[in-house]
Amino acid sequence: MSATVDTHVHDEEHDVHHHKETFVTKYIFSQDHKMIAKQYLVTGTLMGVIGVLMSIMFRIQIAWPEEPNVLFEALLGKWAPDGVMDADVYLALVTIHGTIMVFFVLTAGLSGTFSNLLIPLQIGARDMASGFLNMVSYWLFFLSCIIMISSLFVEAGPAAAGWTIYPPLSALPMASGGSGLGMTLWLVSMAIFIASSLLGSLNYIVTVINLRTKGMSMTRLPLTIWAFFVTAVIGVVSFPVLLSAALLLIMDRSFGTSFFLSDIFIQGEVLHYQGGSPVLFEHLFWFLGHPEVYIVILPAMGLVSEIMASSSRKPIFGYRAMIASILAIAFLSTIVWGHHMFISGMNPFLGSVFTFTTLLIAIPSAVKAFNWITTLWKGNLQMNPAMLFSIGFVSTFITGGLTGIILGDSALDINVHDTYFVIAHFHLVMGISALYGMFAGIYHWYPKMFGRMLNKNLGYLHFWITAVCAYGVFFPMHFIGMAGLPRRYYTNSNFPLFDDLANTNVIITIFAIIGGLAQIIYLYNFFISMFYGKKAVQNPWKSTTLEWTTPVEHIHGNWPGAIPHVYRWSYDYSKPGHDVDFVPQNVPLMEGEEELQH
Amino acid sequence: MTALLTIIIVLFVAVALWQMVKIFDLAQVGTTNTQVADDHDNKINGYLMIGFLGFIYVITILCFWYIGDLPLMSNAASEHGSEVDNLMIISMVVIFVVQTITQFLLHYFAYKYKGEKGRKALFYADNNTLEFIWTVIPVIVLAGLIIYGLFTWNDIMNVDEDEDPMVIELYAQQFKWTARYSGGDNVLGKANVRLIDIDRANILGVDEDDPNAQDDVVVSELHLPVGQQVVFKMRSQDVLHSAYMPHFRAQMNCVPGMVTQFAFTPTVTTADMRQNPDIVEKVQNINELRMDRKAEIEESGQELLYEFDYLLLCNKICGKSHYNMQMKIIVETQEEFDAWMKDQKTFPNSLN
C-alpha cells in the first residue's frame, strides 16, 4: 500500500476508494500505525488499571495488616477468607503488579503507543515499514495480556516469586503455590510478549532508517524519534536474552534439566537437580532487566524533550548533547546489570566493575536533567497539562535518580539492597517518571490520536493530585528502607523492631489510595473526551514537527497529497527573524537564513 | 456498614471533584475555550509550581525530622559498619545538596518564565562551555564517590585470613535459619543436602564421617563474641534466601548449590547496645506504640514489651512465610560466649 501511494500520489483518492475498509480491518485487525497505536494505548491503560488496583490492595494490607477488608473480600474471593488477605496472595499481587507495570504498561503501553504513532508521522512516512508485522506485534501483545490475566484465575494462584522470578522459588511448585500452572502461564505470556516486542522493535528500527522523508537527516530528527530508535535497538539486543532465560527455566521446570538448579532438598526429599546455578539466571534476567528500565525511561525522555521544547517555545537546549547522552545511556545500560547482584554471591571483583560502570551512567543522566532545566530558562512556558507532567517528570527523575548513587555503590547497597529504599528509588526514577512521560505524551498527542482535545482543567486536577501523592507515597519509603525494612513482607508485625514505622506505612497507603483514585479523573477525561471533547485544530500546540501537518481526520497514508519535505531541524521555536514563534520543519529556509549548526 | 460509608465518601469526593471542575470551567466563560493553556492557566500553574517546590522541601524536612534520625542508621554494630555509614552520610549530603538546588531551579524557572501572550522566548540552543561544566562536575563528584566506595567494598569483601576469623555456617531453609559453629578446629565439616537425614536430626546434611565435623555445633540462636572477626559461610537447602543483618551492615544471599560468604567483626555487645541512648529512645517509642495495641498484641501471642535484639532477617523473597524468617543474634563478651558454647551439644551428640 505505502509503496503504491508513494509513487502514485495523485491516485490517492482512487486508491482509498479501492480499499474500502470494513469495521474489522479498520478497528480490529488494522495495519494502520495510528490505529495500532491507539490499540496499544487502550490495552496498556486497561492493564494499568489492574496493576494500580493491585498495588492499592497490597498497600492496604501493609498499612492495616491482617485486618478484614471489604475490598479484599469482593475482589480476592477465596484468597481472602473472611476478608483477610492470604500471605501467598500478597506475594502474587506484588509479583503481578510489577510484571504488569514494567512490561505491559510502561514497555508496551508507552513505547508501543508512541513509537507507533509518532515514528511515521514525525519522520514523514506513510506508515511503518511493515504494517502486517506491526499488526502481528500488537495481537501477540494482546494475547500475552490475556494469558497473564488468565493466570490470575488458576487454582493455585498466579506467579508469586516476585517479578524477577528467581529460581528455584519460581521453578519448584512445592516451594510456592504460584510456581505451578501460574508460573507456566507467566512464562508463556512473557515469551509471547517478547516476540511481540521484538517484532515491534525491528519495525521501528527499519522504519527510522529507511523511510525518512527527503531532508530528514538523522540530525534533524526530533528527540522523540531518537529515543524510540535507540530504545528499539536496546530491546533487540536484550529481550532475546530474557527469552532464553525463560525457555531454560521452562526446561528446568518441565523437562528435568538443571540449568538453574542444584542440590535441593525440599519437603523431605532430595531433588535430582545438580550442577546448575540460580546466579546464572540472575545474570540472564538482569541482562534484560536493567536495559529494560531504559527501555521504559528513554521513550519518556524523548516525549518530555519534545513537549518541553514545544511548550517552552524554545529549542531544546543542547540537542547534540541530548542525542549523545541517549546513546551513552543505551551503551552503558547493557554493562551495568550486575548492580542488581552485588550480594548475589558473585565474585566481589565483579561488584567493583559494576559499581564503576553504574556510577558512570549518572553522567549522561545528569547532562539530560541540566539540559531540560536550561530549556525552561527564559522560555515562554505554556502550562498545558502535558507540560506539567513533563516538569513533574524531571522532578521525579532527579529525586529518584539521585538515590541511584547509593544503590549503585556496592558498599552501600549491602545494607539497603531489597529494602523499601530500593522500592522508593525505582518507583520514582522509572515508574512514576515513565508514567509522567506517558501522561505527558497522551495529553500532548491526544488531539493527534482522537481529533479532540482533553479537558485541561481535569488535566490540571489530575496532575496536581498525582504529583503530591507520588511524593507522598515514595519519599517516606526511602526512610523506612534505610531503617532496614525488607520489601515483599506480607506483614511487619512479627518484627517489633519495625513497629515505629507502622504509622508511616499508614500515611503512605493513604497517599496511594488518593493517588490511585485521582486516576479516575484521568480515565473519565480520556474516555469521555474521545466522544465529547472539544474538536481539535490541526496544530493546537503550535509545534514544528511533521505530525501536525497531517489532517485532523486520520487518513490511511497520513498526508493527502505528497509527503512534505524537511528543510530544518525540529526545534525552530522563537527563532529570531521570524514573525511567529515557531517554524515548522517543512518550511524552507528564508533567503539568507542559516540553519543552526547542530 | 463500613462498605456503605466508604461508598458515600467516595461519592462525596466524586461530587466535590465534579464541582471543582465546574468552577474551573465557569471561570473560563467568555474566553474561547480551546483547551489550550492561556495566560490565566500559566499564572495559576506557575504559582502552584512554587507551592510544589515548598511541598518537596517540607516533606523532605518532615521525613528527616520524624523518621530520618533512625538509630539503625547511625549505630553500626560492626567494624566496617561505621565506614559504610560514613560513605552513606557523604552520599546523602551530596544528594541533598544537588536535590535542593536542581529542584529549586526547575520549579523556580517554571514559575518565573510562565507564559505570557506576546512575549517571545529566548532562542538559546547550545552552549558548549555550560555543557562541559555540568558534564565535568558530576564526573569529579562521582569519581570521588566511586573511589571511596570501591575501597570500602574491597575492605568489606576481602577476608583477611591472618586475623584468624571464626568460621560459622549460616544455613537457610523455608522458613528458618540454623547456624553451625566450626568448633575447636575452626573448620566446618563437609556437608551436602544429599546427606540430610531427618530421622537422625541431621538437618544440615553434615557428613558424619568427616573428622572436621566431630566438633561442629548446630544451634538455632546465633551467639557472637564481641571483637572477634566472624566469617559466615552461607548455604541454602531449597530456594534463594538472603541473610540480612542490618545492624551490622551485612547481607549476603544464600544460594542452593553453592557456598557464599560474608565477614564482619561485631563491636558492640547486645547488653551495651541496649544502653545506647538512641536505642533506649527507640525502644521506648516502640513500647508506647505497643501499649496502644495491647489487646491485639497479646492476642497474637507476642510479648507485649519489646526489648532490643540484633536480628538476622531473610531479605530475598522465599515463599509464603518469607515475612517471618528470622533468627536472634546475641553479641556478648568472650567469657559469656565460651560459657554458652560449653552448654551446646557437639554435632555427633546432637544426632538421634
Give yes or no for residue A36 having a pLDDT over 70. Answer: yes
Q: Picking from A207-221, A253-267, A391-405, B68-82, which range would have the lowest pLDDT averaged per residue?
A: B68-82
Answer yes or no: are the C-beta atoms of A295 and A281 closer than 8 Å.
Answer: no
Give the residue among A570, A567, A578 at the shortest CA–CA distance from A548: A570
The pLDDT of residue B26 is: 61
HSE toward the beta carbon, residue A373, CA cutoff 13 A? 22
Q: Closest-CA residue in chain B for A394?
A: B106
The pLDDT of residue B125 is: 86
Could you report the predicted ipTM of this complex, rounded to two decimals? Answer: 0.92
From CA B275, how far away is CA B282, in angstroms rounded? 11
- Taking only residues 298 to 317 of chain B, the set having a beta carbon closer than 8 angstroms to any beta carbon of chain A reads 300, 302, 306, 308, 311, 313-317
User: In chain B, which residues have their Cβ closer than 8 Å to the Cβ of A175?
Assistant: 174, 238-239, 318-319
Give yes or no for residue A216 having a pLDDT over 60. Answer: yes
Q: Phi and psi of A155, rounded to 5°?
A: -50, -55
The count of other CB atoms within 10 Å of the CB of residue B8 is 10
Smallest Cα distance from B290 to chain A, Å: 8
Give the nearest partner residue to A402 out of B14, B99, B313, using CB atoms: B99
Strand partners, B245: B250
Q: Write the pLDDT tens digit of every residue in B210-269.
A: 999 999 999 999 999 999 999 999 999 999 999 999 999 999 999 999 999 999 999 999
- In terms of phi and psi (left: phi > 0; alpha: psi -120 to 50; beta: otherwise), the region of A268 is left
3-class secondary structure, A266: strand
Give yes or no for residue A443 having a pLDDT over 60. Answer: yes
From CA A283, how far away is CA A275, in angstroms rounded? 16
Which element (helix H / strand E) includes B247?
none
Smallest Cα distance from A241 to chain B, Å: 22
- Select from A283, A414, A521 the residue whose CB has the most chain B CBs within 10 Å, as the one to mutate to test that interface: A414
Q: Is A500 on the interface with B (CB under 8 A)?
A: yes
**A577 inside domain:** no
Smallest Cα distance from B228 to chain A, Å: 21
Give the residue among A457, A565, A465, A119 at the shortest CA–CA distance from A306: A119
Which element (helix H / strand E) includes B264?
strand B260-264
Give the nearest partner residue to B72 out of A316, A377, A483, using CB atoms: A483
Smallest Cα distance from B18 to chain A, Å: 9
The pLDDT of residue B29 is: 54
What is the DSSP annotation of A345-364? Answer: TS-HHHHHHHHHHHHHTHHH
pLDDT band at residue A17, thresholds of 50, 70 and 90?
A: very low
From CA A121, how far away is CA A123, in angstroms rounded? 6
pLDDT band at residue B28, thresholds of 50, 70 and 90?
A: low
The pLDDT of residue B72 is: 53
* Subunit contact B103:A576, Cβ cutoff 8 A: no
Percent of chain A with pLDDT over 90: 83
Per-residue pLDDT, averaged over B326-346, amounts to 95
Q: How many domains does chain A have?
A: 1
3-state secondary structure chain B: CHHHHHHHHHHHHHHHHHHHHHHHHHHCCCCCCCCCCCHHHHHHHHHHHHHHHHHHHHHHHHHHHHHHCCHHHHCCCEHHHHHHHHHHHHHHHHHHHHHHHHHHHHHHHHHHCECCCCCCCCCCCCCHHHHHHHHHHHHHHHHHHHHHHHHHHHHHHCCCHHHCCEEEEEEEECCEEEEEECCCCCCCCCECHHHCEHHHCECCCECCCCHHHCCCEEECCEEEECCCCEEEEEEECCCCEEEEEHHHCEEEEECCCCCEEEEECECCCHHHHHHCHHHHHHHHHHHHHHHHCHHHHHHCCCCCCCCCCEEEEECCCCCCCHHHCEEEEEEECHHHHHHHHHCCCCHHHHCC
Q: Write the pLDDT tens digit of every residue in A339-356.
A: 999 999 999 999 999 999
Cα distances (angstroms) measured from residue A126 to each of A117, B34, B119:
11, 29, 37
Give the nearest partner residue to B156 out of A166, A376, A411, using CB atoms: A411
Answer yes or no: are the C-beta atoms of A169 and A82 closer than 8 Å.
Answer: no
Q: Phi and psi of B163, rounded to 5°?
A: -75, 0
3-class secondary structure, A169: coil
pLDDT band at residue A12, thresholds of 50, 70 and 90?
A: very low
Smallest Cα distance from A560 to chain B, Å: 26
Which element (helix H / strand E) includes B155?
helix B128-157
Give yes or no for residue B187 having a pLDDT over 80. Answer: yes
Q: Is B285 on the interface with A (CB under 8 A)?
A: yes
Answer yes or no: are the C-beta atoms of A510 and A433 closer than 8 Å.
Answer: no
User: In chain A, which residues have their Cβ closer than 8 Å to the Cβ of B258?
Assistant: 262, 277, 279, 345
Per-residue pLDDT, averaged over B335-348, amounts to 94
Give the nearest partner residue to B42 out of A87, A376, A383, using CB atoms: A383
Q: Closest-CA residue in chain B for A398?
A: B99
* Subunit contact A484:B60, Cβ cutoff 8 A: no
Q: Closest-CA residue in chain A for B197?
A: A268
Q: How far is residue A476 CA from its own chain's centroid?
A: 24
Q: Closest-CA residue in chain A for B142?
A: A359
Give the nearest partner residue to A500 out of B99, B134, B285, using CB atoms: B285
The pLDDT of residue A10 is: 42
Sequence-ordered list of residues with C-beta below 8 angstroms from that of A160, at least 6 positions apart, any chain: A88, A89, A91, A92, A95, A176, A177, A178, A179, A182
Per-residue pLDDT, averaged over B14-37, amounts to 69
Q: How much of chain A is in helix, strand and coil states, percent to nearest 5?
A: 70, 0, 30
Answer yes or no: are the C-beta atoms of A367 and B28 closer than 8 Å.
Answer: no
**A244 inside domain:** yes
Give the total residue count for chain A.
598
Answer yes or no: are the C-beta atoms of A342 and A358 closer than 8 Å.
Answer: no
Q: Is B174 on the interface with A (CB under 8 A)?
A: yes
Q: Is A468 on the interface with B (CB under 8 A)?
A: yes
Give the nearest partner residue to B37 out of A162, A382, A486, using CB atoms: A382
* Subunit contact B193:A265, Cβ cutoff 8 A: yes
From CA A330, how far away is CA A294, in angstroms rounded? 7
Answer yes or no: are the C-beta atoms of A325 and A316 closer than 8 Å.
Answer: no
Cα distances (angstroms) measured from residue B324 to each of A63, A173, A252, A348, B242:
17, 21, 29, 29, 13
Strand partners, B260: B234
* Subunit contact A312:B113, Cβ cutoff 8 A: yes
Torsion of CA A481, A484, A487, A490, to 10 degrees: -120
Per-residue pLDDT, averaged over A140-146, amounts to 97
Give the nearest partner residue to B322 out of A363, A419, A489, using CB atoms: A489
Q: Which residue has cell 538455632?
A: B220
For helices A113-123 and A433-450, angle between their N-to-C axes, nearest 10 degrees:
60
* Subunit contact A277:B255, Cβ cutoff 8 A: yes
Answer yes or no: are the C-beta atoms of A140 and A206 closer than 8 Å.
Answer: no
Give the nearest partner residue to A175 out of B48, B286, B319, using CB atoms: B319
Whole-prediction pTM: 0.93
The count of other CB atoms within 10 Å of the CB of residue A504 is 20
* CATH number of the domain encompassing residue A504: 1.20.210.10
Answer yes or no: are the C-beta atoms of A544 and A584 closer than 8 Å.
Answer: yes
Percent of chain A with pLDDT over 70: 96
Pairing type for strands B326-332 and B222-225 reads parallel
Q: Which residue has cell 522560555?
A: A379
Answer yes or no: are the C-beta atoms of A375 and A384 closer than 8 Å.
Answer: no
Domain that holds residue A294: 2-7+31-261+277-549
**Domain B161-292+302-350 belongs in CATH node 3.30.1490.100:** no
User: In chain B, which residues have their Cβ closer than 8 Å to the Cβ of A402?
Assistant: 95, 98-99
**A579 inside domain:** no
The pLDDT of residue B1 is: 60
Q: Is A361 on the interface with B (CB under 8 A)?
A: no
- Select from B22, B123, B262 the residue whose CB has the most chain A CBs within 10 Å, as the one to mutate to test that interface: B123
Per-residue pLDDT, averaged over A546-558, amounts to 92
The pLDDT of residue A23 is: 79
User: In chain A, which residues have their Cβ closer than 8 Å to the Cβ of B321?
Assistant: 87
pLDDT band at residue A16, thresholds of 50, 70 and 90?
A: very low
The pLDDT of residue A344 is: 94
For helices A223-255 and A319-333, angle between their N-to-C axes, nearest 10 degrees:
10
Q: Is A130 on the interface with B (CB under 8 A)?
A: no
